[in-house]
Structure 1
Amino acid sequence: MFAAALTEDAQLRPLNPWHAEEFLANLDRARQSISPWVSPSFVATDLGQARHVLQRYADRWARDDGGIWGIWAGGRLVGGVLLVSLDADTGVCEAGCWLEPAAEGRGLVTRAVSRLIDWVVDERGLHRVEWRVVAGNVRSIAVARRLGMRRDGVLRAVSPGPDGRIDLEVWSLLAPEWRTHRASLTGPR
């Protein structure tokens, strides 16, 4: 197992099916704030569903087409990042995130997604990272901007939502753009 430090007291680690109880507790704390922005199939409401969500991502990891990692702060799961999709043949992936309100404002998601982008670009050799966000999700759009992503456009009325059809913004970052952006933040590697 690996752990990547995000801050002095926060780590990014794999999130596995055996974490289902902890994952469900995290979703219970985050449910109200993330429900408008994430797929209902992700926001499990019982232990069986939580296990199913994590197993789905474990299976994606085994197939090499996605994955999920948790953000632990102070020893407690507070959110995470995921590869919703990963296509090594085309060099394209989609990243996503969730975070409970008590952990907001500390830069944890930005740091975690940066680690994820480092991995897909440097280790996997992918060329494009996509970030799809429900229009109006200002916190997620701010993360995309901090990561140096560009807004490609809007998929209008792309899927049903609780209050009608939703628009989905597509943001992206290309590998050369990431390398330039990363160097501007940290200096040469």
Structure 2
Amino acid sequence: MYAISLGDDGAELRPLEPWRAEELLAHIDRGREFIGQYIALPDAVADLESSRAFLQAYAEKAAADTGRIHGIWTDGKLVGGVLFRTMDIQQGTAEVGCWLEPSAVGKGLVTRAVRVLIDWAVGERGIHRVEWQVSAANEPSIAVAQRLGMTKDGVLRESYLYRGKRHDIEVWSVLAPEWRSVGRAA
């Protein structure tokens, strides 16, 4: 097991593995309503069995080299996470995502954690394009994409049906050459 420091505040990025299912469930329960404003993670992690299954699915993605999931810990407590929802090494593309519970908002944790993931994807795995898909109403997440130096590619109008309502999804991205010149320096 490893932990990557996210800065002087003691925050760490660690793999979220199936044996952490109980910890993930407790974290989701603390922020269920907040986290569920824009993403379906709280719907997928409803009890211990579904939490374990969710993490197992990402363990299988990691084994197949098609995705990854990491948690963000502060003071030894899981407060959020970042992931590669998809990774296609052959095509050189990946989609990154995130979530936080309310106690962790406004500390720059997601920006720092995603920066680590993109550094790894571009530098170690040869990913050429990292994509960020976000509800057009999710201003804090859009701000992260902007802080990471991503470019808004466009809007998928009413493409995401979530809890009975259609949402516009903004697509943001950063290309490897851009990341090498801007993203890491930021």
Partner of 1:10: 11
C-alpha separation in 1, matches of 2:184 and 2:95: 22
Partner of 2:135: 134
Indicate conservation of the 8 Å contact 1:35/1:43, yes or no. Answer: no
The CA deviation at 1:29 is 1.3
C-alpha separation in 2, matches of 1:182 and 1:143: 12
SS at match of 1:37: coil
Residue correspondence of structure 1 range 91-130 to structure 2 within 5 A: 91-130=92-131
Gaps of 5+ in 1: none
Counterpart of 2:149, as a letter, is G
Partner of 2:77: 76
Counterpart of 1:102, as a letter, is S
C-alpha separation in 2, matches of 1:127 and 1:42: 32
The CA deviation at 1:36 is 2.0
In the superposition, relative to structure 1, how do residues 66 and 42 fare at CA in structure 2: closer, same or farther (>3 Å)? farther
Partner of 1:154: 155
Partner of 2:145: 144
Indicate conservation of the 8 Å contact 1:31/1:43, yes or no. Answer: no
Gaps of 5+ in 2: none
Indicate conservation of the 8 Å contact 1:6/1:111, yes or no. Answer: yes
The CA deviation at 1:42 is 5.8
Structure 1 vs Structure 2 CA RMSD: 1.3
Residue correspondence of structure 1 range 10-89 to structure 2 within 5 A: 10-40=11-41, 43-89=44-90
Give TM-score scaled by structure 2 length: 0.95
Number of residues paired by the alignment? 185
The percentage of aligned residue pairs carrying the same residue is: 54
Partner of 2:182: 181
C-alpha separation in 1, matches of 2:92 and 2:3: 25
The CA deviation at 1:181 is 1.0
C-alpha separation in 2, matches of 1:64 and 1:153: 28
C-alpha separation in 2, matches of 1:132 and 1:43: 18
The CA deviation at 1:40 is 4.9
C-alpha separation in 2, matches of 1:67 and 1:33: 23
Counterpart of 1:3, as a letter, is A
